[in-house]
Structure 1
Amino acid sequence: MTAVTRDRVLDVHERPAPATFVLLSLQHLFAMFGANVLVPILTGLDPAVGLVSSGLGTLIYLGFTKWRLPAYLGSSFAFIGPILTATAIGGTGGALVGACAAGAVYVIVAFLIKGFGVRWLLAILPPIVIGPVIVVIGLGLASVAVGMAQNTAGGGAYSLPHFLIALFTLGSIFVYSIVLRGFFTVVPILLGIVTGYLAALAAGLVDFAPIAAAPWFQVPGFHLLFSNMKEGASAIAMILMIAPVALVTIAEHIGGQIVLSRVVGRNFIKDPGLHRSILGDGVATMVAGAIGGPPATTYGENIGVLAVTRIFSVWVIGGAATMAIILGFVGKLSAFLATIPTAVMGGVSIALFGVIASSGIRTLIEGKVDLGDKRNLLISSTILVIGIGGASLKFGDGGFVVSSMALSALMGVLLNALLPGRGTGEEAEEILSSSHV
């Protein structure tokens, strides 16, 4: 048994004690809340719908993976740019049509994996490609985390008090994770948020007015598919604009499965199978688009919580998903969570987004990628610079845009396929034959 599995607190199918069930699920809810709500806010969608769609999507995902894979699905950052562009051209309805099509791409890939196996996909996306892409995903969000930490709400000007609160929140997570013992080491993220919230309250950064104004019950602003499309907008154009982004998030999905497998100590690519996890992710994305929510993706923040707490129970994940659905309908609870200062969530995000980037480095190390080899060095360097540097392809004014994340992943795949000295697929065989990834 590996060191990864010896210190687990709760295994995948183990149910926590009733006294801690709610707290453990709340920790996952808080971990995903800031980023999950931020995506619909940035894209003009209803944050309450984002909560409901993330909860529904997670339960769908757990069902498709036979309740064997402890992953939470939240709003994907990779789709922000394409959704904004599609909304400007075809309205909210057009963007949602494209989001559903992205989910359909997942479904198609899942059936291809079911029919032809996963080796072809792993050969296209080996560790030399996946590792740097994961780093890009984590460090690509670094500016978001730092902006939340040191700027006033809404991306305003630099604020030293806000940054100090973020650092205090981050420091408290370190204390709860490393210094304290017993129960406190199980919920460090939740305790860190509570500690940061109290500090922000003392500093006068918390506004309770939204809570008083919010109703107890409110129906989220759901959008039916094909509604709110601009007149003359082409559904095919919307699909072509957004659906290709799924190729990037599938690479993110695979990277997440590799990281999650290593964290938990099980090979989730083999059991319940990559085809099941991709299928669940795709159906969840289609459902989200159909009700007015952003596309779904497995959340690195929640994988970070698993890595820190060593609690891998799917019951805890399912509890968090159920809470998210309820919160979407409870106006005052949603308003209360919305009062958490962005500085507090920024401090949490610094820790959790960093986990994603570090996991990419770990993928390179454990994939035995030799960066002394010029071929590998060129591939990884190109992916990192294009992805983190923000390079993109733009065709026409307001036309089709290939984002930096998509472009970095595409360049990685092409360079790996075209440059001489490509591997023989041993990495894929190792992944599939190992007891844990």
Structure 2
Amino acid sequence: MTNKNMVLDVRDVPKASKWLVFSIQHLFAMFGSTILVPFLTDLSQAVALISSGLGTLAYILITKGRIPAYLGSSFAFITPITSAMAISGTGGVMIGSFLAGIVYGILSVLIKAFGTQWLMKILPPIVVGPVIIVIGLGLAPTAIDMAMNVDGEYSGTHFSAAIVTLLITVVGTLMFRGFFGLIPILIGIIGGYLYSMIISAITGVHVLQTSGVSAAWQKIADSQSFSEAMSAIFVMPEFVIPFVHYNPAEIFNLSIVLIMVPVAIVTVAEHIGDQMVLSKVAGRNFLEKPGLHRSIMGDGVATMIASLLGGPPNTTYGENIGVLAITRVFSVFVIGGAAVLAIFFGFIGIITEIIASIPTAVMGGISILLFGIIASSGLRMLIDNQIDLGNKRNLIISSVILVIGIGGAYVEIPIPDDQILNISGMALAAIIGLVLNLVLPGKESGFGNGQMFEAPEEDK
């Protein structure tokens, strides 16, 4: 089954005149969150860009170029990274990330050996759909905070930049035709950037900060030779490499394992949900071809690559689905181009400064739309699979997942070295949803009557 509304199919190669713009748009939609995670966890933004690019290329290779997915920094790891950082610094975080990637690899091997039926049995649409909704709505406060707050304080000027960006993107999505109708997100970011520049000049409120760009450009302009210019343009990111910047054996700590590794269970559930939604959006079943084992292995390898460079763990992105749903450009060549650009940008000092200068409010405006699309995708999964919420079992499972995930419930578990393992939000909601699905009778109702994802034979 293919989607007749596709502009470019998964294996289609775009024309050279459009390839670069499509890839830039895709990267721009991804880098807001990709850069935000290292910003919140005190990791290098340039390294995050490079590791996301390398991880995406590895993912495309492992999945045989059959899944249009860009991998970026995982929000699920923000709190664990902060906790692990306090115990063993950046090196400890990288050890934990690497081990989380190993979990992906083990799960991939199990899926290859035993198939997906056992996994789908514990992760039916009635569990995955609400968890995806929780992911989207759970990120909503982040989008709103980015859109209207500065250092925790409301700013009408910043919020206006977010609203203008959102409106430009929405109008572009609905009204633009032809090529411009395919790049509404990029147009929205550019429009929001220009508006921020104008409003900063008029009001004196610095929505746009370009001091870093000016300093980088001045360094290039002051260069007295070609070699000086090249050294000013190309800047080596702050990589954190094992046995170079730290000795894993000396800083290994069991607490790091207990803090970082369990999060992989949550991100695997998120990954499966993303693959289901992406399959629906693209009109094909990626869980069967190239296979869930390949996509999960790709996620794990991407996370391990990031851990060897000093970047945050990578994961398939809900924003990726949002961009594909809006633009209908599914080509892996476009996504591969975005990955190459991410790697290139990570080494170009002035480019990273330009990226960093994009106002948080502008990215907040874009995030309002993209995070909402994630939540709507979870709702769409329930609808497409014809999940009956009149069924008491389904109503209970979905209700509990939504309230626990969005309400901020958490569980604290004491672990060695007087540390506390905090399981909260999406993680807790997913775990409780899994348990309810396994213990409540009538499991077949959780699969609905959809045609793409059917119940395992023993549950029919």
- Match of residue 223, structure 1, among 232, 240, 246: 240
C-alpha spacing 1:280/1:232, structure 2 compared with 1 (3 Å): closer
> Partners in 1 of 2:97 and 2:134 — Cα distance?
22
C-alpha spacing 1:232/1:291, structure 2 compared with 1 (3 Å): closer
C-alpha spacing 1:360/1:15, structure 2 compared with 1 (3 Å): same
Is 1:270–2:288 an aligned residue pair? yes
User: What is aligned with 2:107?
Assistant: 109
Q: Deviations over 1:94-146 (max 9, x none)?
A: 11111111111111111111000001101100001000100011011000000
User: What is aligned with 1:134?
Assistant: 132
- Quick check: 2:126–2:447 contact (8 Å CA) kept in 1? no
- Match of residue 172, structure 1, among 168, 175, 179: 168
Q: Where do residues 382-401 of structure 1 align in structure 2 (5 Å cutoff)?
A: 382-396=400-414, 398-401=419-422
> Partners in 1 of 2:291 and 2:5 — Cα distance?
25
Shift of 1:217: 1.4
Q: Write the letter of the residue equivalent to 2:346.
A: G
Give the SS at the match of 2:154. Answer: coil
C-alpha spacing 1:334/1:219, structure 2 compared with 1 (3 Å): same
User: What is aligned with 1:124?
Assistant: 122
- Match of residue 253, structure 1, among 271, 277, 280: 271
Is 1:316–2:334 an aligned residue pair? yes
> Partners in 2 of 1:197 and 1:68 — Cα distance?
34
Q: Write the letter of the residue equivalent to 2:387.
A: V
- Quick check: 1:28–1:305 contact (8 Å CA) kept in 2? yes
Is 1:410–2:431 an aligned residue pair? yes
User: What is aligned with 1:209?
Assistant: 211
Shift of 1:386: 1.0
Shift of 1:93: 0.9
- Quick check: 1:206–1:340 contact (8 Å CA) kept in 2? yes
Shift of 1:395: 2.6
Give the SS at the match of 1:315. Answer: helix
Shift of 1:399: 1.7
- Quick check: 1:90–1:229 contact (8 Å CA) kept in 2? no
> Mind listing any 5+ residue stretches in structure 1 that lack a counterpart?
none
Q: Write the letter of the residue equivalent to 1:122.
A: M
- Match of residue 398, structure 2, among 376, 380, 383: 380
- Match of residue 93, structure 1, among 91, 94, 101: 91
User: What is aligned with 1:161?
Assistant: 157
User: What is aligned with 2:180?
Assistant: 184
Q: Where do residues 21-40 of structure 1 align in structure 2 (5 Å cutoff)?
A: 21-40=19-38
Q: Where do residues 316-395 of structure 1 align in structure 2 (5 Å cutoff)?
A: 316-395=334-413
- Match of residue 323, structure 2, among 305, 311, 322: 305
User: What is aligned with 1:200?
Assistant: 196
Shift of 1:429: 9.6
Q: Write the letter of the residue equivalent to 1:222.
A: F
> Partners in 1 of 2:294 and 2:448 — Cα distance?
21
- Match of residue 64, structure 2, among 63, 66, 74: 66
> Mind listing any 5+ residue stretches in structure 2 that lack a counterpart?
201-206, 217-231, 456-460
User: What is aligned with 1:13?
Assistant: 11
- Quick check: 2:95–2:248 contact (8 Å CA) kept in 1? no
> Partners in 1 of 2:96 and 2:436 — Cα distance?
28
Aligned length: 430
Q: Higher Cα Rg: structure 1 or 2? A: 2
Q: Write the letter of the residue equivalent to 1:194.
A: I
Shift of 1:428: 11
- Quick check: 1:94–1:229 contact (8 Å CA) kept in 2? no
Q: Deviations over 1:262-286 (max 9, x none)?
A: 1111111111111100001101101
User: What is aligned with 2:229?
Assistant: none
Shift of 1:426: 5.7
User: What is aligned with 2:226?
Assistant: none
> Partners in 2 of 1:9 and 1:60 — Cα distance?
25
C-alpha spacing 1:298/1:409, structure 2 compared with 1 (3 Å): same
C-alpha spacing 1:404/1:229, structure 2 compared with 1 (3 Å): farther
TM-score by length of 2: 0.90
> How many percent of aligned residue pairs carry the same amino acid?
55
- Match of residue 419, structure 1, among 427, 436, 440: 440
Q: Write the letter of the residue equivalent to 2:42.
A: G
Shift of 1:83: 0.8
> Partners in 2 of 1:426 and 1:254 — Cα distance?
15
Q: Write the letter of the residue equivalent to 2:187.
A: L
Give the SS at the match of 1:372. Answer: coil
